[in-house]
């Protein structure tokens, strides 16, 4: 993965550094921590795909089962040209911490394929998705490792993979993958769950700080699934979304954008345009073009990186002006930048809490698939709200008690919970104890 300065970053090495620092603030046994420094298993696969012109291309994919002490491994599958083994390992480690933060009975995993999905036709995408599932099928399963969507994958991709897996096993197995289309056993409320979870976290901060949303400005980097939904929920509550961007660059407008209009164009034409829709009439609104780097440095109240990792580094950290940063992407801040942000008094709500809404509703989907009892959308929202608010408050209290930052507090909660599960299987302390 390359960051705005163009330097290649070893994401996994960076993730390990942060794990070690945070572990000092947790009661985790050193043996348990040692286990968390190494993934349980990594699978690398070659996926031959017949292209529309008759030629063959072979893609490389990965699936990492990072830890499954608290339950089956869980985590998305990413399609991106910059996917690497190091990146997938880091993402799988973060999933392990994330499922512990929200207290769902899963471990952590992740998958990825090195591909630019925008360059594939829909049929090629289907063949790639089915081909990837064929290669990882023996490595995943409802009680082993349960994939889901991530960057540039969606419900339809999950549907193809579920179908391929079921054909291979000869039985219908919806709980093998989450984020499926609703008619194939998906859960209501899964599609917007990551954005909604982040929104519930922001509502907690709003309550604590007694904000008037119409006075709060927000910049969102990344206008994919999570970025669009969090922007939309905030917009509906009157927040001013003054800047958004996608991989091509961003737009800035101090008076704020009409988010439903931006979403409509983006989802129809894949373009980010400063527009306002009145019925079917489209008007352009005044705005300024900005780069992704400029967006991060805007003087706004809330900054939401919702794209990729390693966006805020030692190089640009000191120029971040937003007092609140909500990590909707996984790993948008490098470990070296943590201290700078902290010294500047910036409240960073870490990814393993801020974007945990997605995996939480994935858990609901898995439960529904296994029981055959399907929930209403209201039930999904209520349970998600309860979990996000509870864990935010717990982590916030721990941050204040330990006089630390929110990331360290969240890692502390996660490591305590994982540590307890590992200790329940026995550590040196247990085995050396005298039975008396």
Where is 324: in which H helix or E strand?
A: strand 324-326
- The structure tokens listed for 242 are 């003054």
Report, in this order, helix, strand and coil percent for the chain, each rounded to 5: 45, 20, 35
58/44 Cα distance (integer angstroms): 13
Counting runs of H as helices and runs of E as strands, what totals does the chain give?
Answer: 15, 14
Is there binding between residue 272 and ligand GLU (CB under 6 A)? no
Question: Is the Cβ–Cβ distance between 231 and 243 less than 8 Å?
Answer: no
Q: How far is the CB of 301 from ligand GLU (least distance, A)?
A: 25
Q: Which of 74, 89, 98, 110 is catalytic?
A: 110
CB nearer to ligand GLU: pick between 233 and 364: 364
Is there binding between residue 362 and ligand GLU (CB under 6 A)? yes
Contacting ligand GLU (CB under 6 A), which of 292, 330, 335, 368? Answer: 330
Contacting ligand GLU (CB under 6 A), which of 18, 40, 74, 127? Answer: 74
Q: How far is the CB of 431 from ligand GLU (least distance, A)?
A: 34
Nearest residue by C-beta to ligand GLU? Answer: 76
247/292 Cα distance (integer angstroms): 8
CB nearer to ligand GLU: pick between 90 and 298: 90
Is there binding between residue 227 and ligand GLU (CB under 6 A)? no
CB nearer to ligand GLU: pick between 77 and 298: 77
Is there binding between residue 178 and ligand GLU (CB under 6 A)? yes
Q: Are strands 302-305 and 217-221 parallel, antiparallel or unpaired?
A: parallel
Q: How far is the CB of 106 from ligand GLU (least distance, A)?
A: 8
Q: How far is the CB of 149 from ligand GLU (least distance, A)?
A: 6
Q: How far is the CB of 43 from ligand GLU (least distance, A)?
A: 17
Question: Under 8 Å CB-to-CB from 27, ≥6 apart: which residues?
Answer: 416, 419
53 burial via Cβ count (<10 Å: 0-12, 13-18, 19+)? exposed
Is there binding between residue 108 and ligand GLU (CB under 6 A)? no
Stretch that binds ligand GLU, among 80-88, 299-307, 357-365, 376-384 (CB under 6 A): 357-365
Bridge partners, 42 (sequence order):
64
Is there binding between residue 150 and ligand GLU (CB under 6 A)? yes
Stretch that binds ligand GLU, among 22-30, 40-48, 74-82, 269-277 (CB under 6 A): 74-82
110: annotated active-site residue: yes
Q: How far is CA 257 from CA 125, 143, 246, in A?
A: 33, 44, 15
By C-alpha distance, which of 157, 190, 194 is closest to 306?
A: 194
Could you give the 3-state DSSP secondary structure of residue 318?
Answer: helix
Q: How far is the CB of 271 from ligand GLU (least distance, A)?
A: 25
Question: Using CB under 6 A as the criterion, which residues of the chain lie in contact with ligand GLU when the complex forms?
Answer: 74-76, 98, 148, 150, 178, 330, 355, 358-359, 362
The residues that are catalytic are: 110
């Amino acid at each position: 993965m390359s960051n705005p300065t163009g330097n290649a970053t070893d994401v996994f090495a960076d993730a390990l550094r942060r794990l070690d620092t945070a572990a000092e603030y947790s009661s985790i046994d050193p043996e348990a921590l040692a286990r968390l420094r190494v993934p349980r298993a990594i699978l690398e696969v070659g996926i031959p795909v017949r292209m529309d012109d008759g030629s063959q291309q072979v893609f490389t994919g990965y699936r990492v089962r990072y830890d499954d002490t608290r339950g089956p491994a869980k985590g998305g599958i990413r399609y991106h040209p910059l996917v690497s083994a190091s990146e997938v390992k880091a993402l799988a480690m973060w999933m392990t911490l994330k499922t512990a933060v929200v207290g769902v009975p899963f471990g952590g995993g992740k998958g990825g394929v090195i591909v630019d999905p925008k360059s594939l036709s829909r049929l090629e995408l289907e063949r790639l998705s089915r081909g990837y599932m064929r290669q990882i099928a023996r490595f995943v399963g409802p009680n082993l490792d349960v994939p889901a969507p991530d960057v540039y994958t969606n419900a339809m991709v999950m549907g193809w993979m579920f179908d391929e897996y079921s054909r291979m096993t000869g039985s219908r197995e919806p709980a093998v993958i989450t984020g499926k289309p609703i008619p194939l056993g998906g859960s209501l409320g899964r599609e917007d769950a990551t954005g909604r979870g982040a929104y519930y976290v922001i509502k907690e901060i709003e309550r604590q700080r007694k904000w008037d949303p119409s006075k709060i400005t927000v910049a969102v980097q990344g206008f994919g699934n999570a970025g669009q939904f969090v922007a939309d929920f905030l917009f509906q509550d009157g927040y001013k979304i003054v800047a958004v961007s996608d991989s091509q660059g961003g737009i800035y407008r101090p008076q704020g954008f009409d988010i439903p209009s931006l979403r409509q164009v983006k989802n129809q034409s894949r373009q980010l345009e400063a527009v306002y829709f009145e019925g079917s009439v489209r008007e352009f609104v005044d705005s300024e073009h900005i780069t992704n780097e400029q967006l991060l440095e805007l003087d706004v109240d809330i900054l939401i990186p919702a794209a990729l990792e390693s966006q805020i580094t030692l190089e640009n950290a000191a120029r971040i002006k937003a007092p609140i940063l909500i990590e909707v992407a996984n790993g948008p801040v490098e470990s070296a930048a943590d201290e700078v942000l902290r010294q500047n008094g910036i409240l960073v709500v870490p990814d393993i809490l801020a974007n945990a809404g997605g995996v939480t509703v994935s858990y609901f989907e898995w439960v529904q698939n296994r029981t055959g009892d399907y929930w209403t959308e209201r039930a999904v929202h209520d349970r998600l709200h309860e979990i996000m608010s509870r864990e935010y408050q717990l982590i916030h209290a721990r941050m204040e008690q330990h006089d630390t930052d929110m990331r360290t507090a969240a890692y502390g909660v996660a490591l305590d919970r994982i540590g307890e599960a590992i200790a329940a299987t026995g550590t040196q302390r247990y085995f050396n104890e005298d039975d008396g």
